[in-house]
Amino acid sequence: MKKNFKRTLAKVMAVALTVSMVGVASTDADAAKKIKLSSKSISVAKGATKKVTIKNVKAKKVKKLTVKSKNKKIATVKKAGKTAFKVTGKKAGKSTKVTVKVKVGKKTTKLTLKVKVTKAKKVVATAAPATTAPTAAPAASASASATPAANASTKPATTPSAKPVATPSATPDEATPAPTEPVQPEPPTTEAKKLPELNLRREAATEWTLGGEYGTAIFNTDDTISYSSYAWAKKAGDCYNNGIAWYIDPAKKGKVDLSAYTDLELTIKTDAEIKFMTWGGSADAASFWDKNDNWGAASKTVENADGSKTITYNLEKIFGSATKVKKAVAVGLTLKSDKDGDDSGFSARTATIYGIKFVNNGGAGTDTNNTDTNNTDTNNVDTNNVDTNNTDKPEPTKAPIPEVAGEKVNVKTSYDAAFSDNDITELEDGNIKLNLSGKNNRVWFKLGEEIDLNDYSAIKVVFANAPQQMTISVFEGSETKGDNWWNNAVANAYPCYGGSASKRSEDGGVAVRGPEVGTIDLTGKTFTSKGGFITVAPNAVTGIASDAVLNEDGDLDFAKNDFTIASIVLVKK
């Protein structure tokens, strides 16, 4: 009897133990799938940026991601896809928290990241660069650059009295173990330049300029700058996303009214194509990505006797509106450094910067092809003619929508809610409204798995209306929106500069506002998987239409402007 009891008890305990072990295994499995951050706390140097990823969830399952800094004066935060975000240090010696909310299905998970901002470290030597997220490629030029005779009167105010103390390496062969800052010469003892000339010294440079993630700047004793698109603070990658910028008021780093000037003159020596960048209105100059890009925006170029050139830019054109000219924060430039498709390589470009000066040309520095002094340049956003308090949306274009031959994509059914930053609305006329809420927000359209894009020569997106320049891209069908997904675009295009136009002038400007067809050229492109994604997004803050509704900071008011597409068409080879 006792033996039977013991045997029965042993069996019961064995079963109980087995069940408990299964329960533990199940709990561990659930814990492994729990959404969490790659780090619970980080330290980031002032002016530097660190990326934090969200673990145990795929991007396509994330319906919504929100990130918020408790104190933006200490650190700012910006989304980098649906499973990552970037934190930028603002005030050294302080700490704050970043709140992260991840919505998967109907459940929202709240996470917290502790952020400590430290002082930027200064060390000696150089290191190789790394890949950063791409900015939009050169946009269509709003005005062609005219080159006057070499004997024109505009020359550098002074010739540099000394050669640069150090020149950053443009093409280092190997990455060194750790990113270190190059040696800077002793600062000048003379008084720094004041407006109308811009102070180009180290103390006026933006935080990301000094951080070395977007290039190398040597501030010479004669107030010139030796600049290279080689980013010393990166370990590997190309130099496409590069730049240097300065606060107009380095002491306050606030807004400056430049309405007393019409133009800006940049004196520089380089063989690279130049993109000028500005920060105005609500733009944060401490962020490289908050810039207003301006490819091909020069109105005049003068070749100087010493090999340098003085390039003139119209202020309203490069800032985007008259309001932003009155609320200017910073200016800067990028040297076009082509991508080579190899993350381990790069092609850096160099320049010597002599000076930047604000001038009043009485309109002489603007588009010389435009003889109408009453502001007929449709790329020039005159906020004095725009009622920013108007709650009505602009009237949609009345011009006919162009018919494009090819295979039409069912835009409504192909809309991908999981990947998209914003949703869409089907209008009564059959067009699709993109409910965009901010710059660079993308709407994704998924192609059928039976489609092989290798069989097509182009993708055409027909815009019924676009109040600013757009970015359209195509991705492989295997795209998952993982880390740095934006680098995976097979091809891009940047239509609608200055707003969609049914007719453009010879220099690429808007002649008649109306529908426009944007084309992604697939010539020479190879796709390794079937299907694919087509994305549509506003291209940062560039190329705003003259009839667009702006907010009080001179930025595009997304809630009061219509982004509408009529169709997406695949063109067979």
- Count of CB atoms within 10 A of residue 174's CB? 7
Token readout for 518 is 């944007």
Q: What number is the average pLDDT over the span 433-451? A: 93
What gap in Å lies between CA 573 and CA 570, rounded to an integer? Answer: 10
Of residues 205, 85, 67, 65, the one with CA closest to residue 483: 85
User: For every residue of 403-439, which 3-state class applies, written as one string?
Assistant: CCCCEEECHHHHECCCCCCCCEEECCCCCEEECCCCC
Q: Could you give the angle at the alpha carbon of 193 between the alpha carbons of 188 and 197, nearest 5°?
A: 145
**Identity (one letter) of the amino acid at 44?**
V
Sequence-distant (6+) residues with CB within 8 A of 115 are 41, 42, 43, 44, 69, 74, 75, 87, 89, 95, 96, 97, 98
pLDDT number for residue 289: 86
The overall average pLDDT reported for the chain is: 80
What gap in Å lies between CA 168 and CA 273, rounded to an integer? Answer: 19
| 93-141 pLDDT per residue, tens | 889 999 999 999 889 999 999 999 888 755 444 443 343 444 444 444 4
**5 pLDDT more than 90:** no
What is the Cα 416 distance to its own chain's centre? 23
**202 pLDDT more than 90:** yes
**45 pLDDT more than 70:** yes
The tokens 């000076």 sit on which residue? 355
Is the preceding omega at residue 156 within 30 degrees of 0, hence cis? no
- The sign of the torsion formed by the CA atoms of 554, 556, 559, 561 equals positive
What gap in Å lies between CA 218 and CA 224, rounded to an integer? Answer: 9
| 491-541 pLDDT per residue, tens | 999 999 889 999 998 877 889 999 999 999 999 999 999 999 999 999 876
Residue 507 near residue 144, CB atoms below 8 Å: yes
Which runs of E-coded beta strand occur in 427-529? Answer: 432-434, 443-447, 456-465, 470-475, 491-493, 501-504, 510-513, 516-521
Token readout for 429 is 């006329």
Of residues 207, 197, 176, 224, the one with CA closest to residue 350: 224
- Segment (H or E) for 324: helix 322-326
**293 pLDDT more than 60:** yes
Which runs of E-coded beta strand occur in 216-327? Answer: 216-219, 225-228, 244-247, 263-269, 274-280, 292-295, 298-303, 309-314
Of residues 131, 51, 82, 134, the one with CA closest to residue 540: 134
| Domain ranges (residues) in the chain | 1-32, 36-118, 202-359, 390-572
Token readout for 523 is 């010539």
pLDDT number for residue 363: 56
- Segment (H or E) for 116: strand 107-118
Sequence-distant (6+) residues with CB within 8 A of 417 are 63, 423
Predicted TM-score of the model (pTM) = 0.56
Could you please state the CATH topology (level 3) that the domain comprising 202-359 is classified under. Answer: Jelly Rolls (2.60.120)
What gap in Å lies between CA 559 and CA 550, rounded to an integer? Answer: 10
Q: In which band, very low, low, confident or very high, does the pLDDT at 4 lie, cut at 50, 70 and 90?
A: low
| 335-386 pLDDT per residue, tens | 988 654 444 445 789 999 999 999 999 854 444 333 333 333 334 434 344 4
Kindly list the distances between the CA atom of residue 361 and the CA atoms of 32, 306, 366, 400, in Å, as whole numbers in the listed order. 65, 24, 9, 40
Burial (0-12, 13-18, 19+ Cβ within 10 Å), 161: exposed
Please determine whether the domains at 36-118 and 202-359 fall in the same fold group of CATH. Answer: no
Residue 285 near residue 247, CB atoms below 8 Å: yes
Token readout for 534 is 């087509």
Of residues 84, 108, 350, the one with CA closest to residue 239: 350
Kindly list the distances between the CA atom of residue 402 and the CA atoms of 82, 102, 460, 518, in Å, as whole numbers in the listed order. 35, 41, 11, 12
Of residues 98, 42, 28, the one with CA closest to residue 70: 98
Q: In which band, very low, low, confident or very high, does the pLDDT at 48 lie, cut at 50, 70 and 90?
A: confident
Q: In which band, very low, low, confident or very high, does the pLDDT at 156 lie, cut at 50, 70 and 90?
A: very low
pLDDT number for residue 544: 87
* Size (the chain), residues: 573
Report the CATH superfamily, name and number, of domain 36-118. Answer: Immunoglobulins (2.60.40.10)
| 302-338 pLDDT per residue, tens | 999 999 999 999 999 899 888 999 999 999 999 988 6
pLDDT number for residue 562: 94
94 by DSSP, 3-state: which? coil
Q: In which band, very low, low, confident or very high, does the pLDDT at 389 lie, cut at 50, 70 and 90?
A: very low
Report the CATH superfamily, name and number, of domain 390-572. Answer: Galactose-binding domain-like (2.60.120.260)
